[in-house]
Amino acid sequence: MRAALFYGIEDMKVENIDEPTPNAGEILVDIAACGICGSDLHFYTEGLHGNAELPVTLGHEVGGTVIETGEDVDIEVGTDVVLSPHTPCMECWYCEDGLYNLCTNLNATSARPGGYAEKAVENADNAIVLPEGVSPEDAAIAQPVSVGLHAVRESPLGIGDSAMVVGAGPIGLGVIQFAKSAGAGPIYVSEPQESRREVAREFGADVVIDPTDEDPVERVREQTGTGVDVAFEAVGHQTTLNQAIESTRANGHTTVIGVFSDEVEISPQSLVGHQRSVSGSTSHQLGPRVTKEYNAVLRQLETGKLDADQYVTSRIDLEDVVDRGFETLLSEDSKERKILVCP
pTM value is 0.92
Q: Determine how many CB atoms are found less than 10 A away from the CB of residue 38.
A: 18
Neighbouring-strand partners of residue 254: 231, 278
Which long-range contacts does 261-267 make (Cβ < 8 Å, 24+ apart)? 261/42, 261/46, 261/236, 262/238, 264/237, 264/238, 265/238, 266/238, 266/241, 266/242, 267/242
Kind plus residue range of the DSSP H or E element containing 12:
strand 11-16
Distance CA 340, CA 331 (A): 17
What pLDDT, on the 0 to 100 scale, is given for residue 310? 87
- Are 145 and 66 in contact by the 8 Å Cβ rule? The answer is no
Distances (CA, A) of 53 to 7, 171, 197, 327: 9, 29, 40, 23
Sheet holding 277-280, edge to edge: 207-209, 187-190, 163-166, 228-233, 248-256, 277-280
- Are 115 and 58 in contact by the 8 Å Cβ rule? The answer is yes
Distance CA 173, CA 124 (A): 29
Radius of gyration of the chain (CA): 20
CA atoms within 13 A on the CB side of 205: 24
Q: Determine how many CB atoms are found less than 10 A away from the CB of residue 120.
A: 30
What pLDDT, on the 0 to 100 scale, is given for residue 56? 95
Please name the amino acid found at residue 221.
Answer: R
- Are 230 and 156 in contact by the 8 Å Cβ rule? The answer is yes
Q: Determine how many CB atoms are found less than 10 A away from the CB of residue 133.
A: 10
What pLDDT, on the 0 to 100 scale, is given for residue 197? 94
Please name the amino acid found at residue 99.
Answer: L
What pLDDT, on the 0 to 100 scale, is given for residue 195? 86
Please name the residue ranges forming H helices in the chain. 38-46, 93-96, 142-154, 170-181, 194-203, 216-224, 238-246, 268-272, 290-303, 308-311, 327-330
Q: Give helix 142-154 / helix 290-303 axis angle, nearest 10°.
A: 120
Per-residue model confidence as pLDDT tens for the chain (343 residues): 999 999 999 999 999 999 999 999 999 999 999 999 988 998 999 998 777 789 999 999 999 999 999 999 999 999 999 999 999 999 999 999 999 999 999 988 889 999 999 999 999 999 999 999 999 999 999 999 999 999 999 999 999 999 999 999 989 999 999 999 999 999 999 999 998 999 999 999 999 999 999 999 999 999 999 999 999 999 999 999 999 999 999 999 999 999 888 899 999 999 999 999 999 999 999 999 999 999 999 999 999 999 999 889 999 999 999 999 999 999 988 888 899 999 9
Domains defined along the chain, listed by start: 2-143+284-341 (3.90.180.10), 156-280 (3.40.50.720)
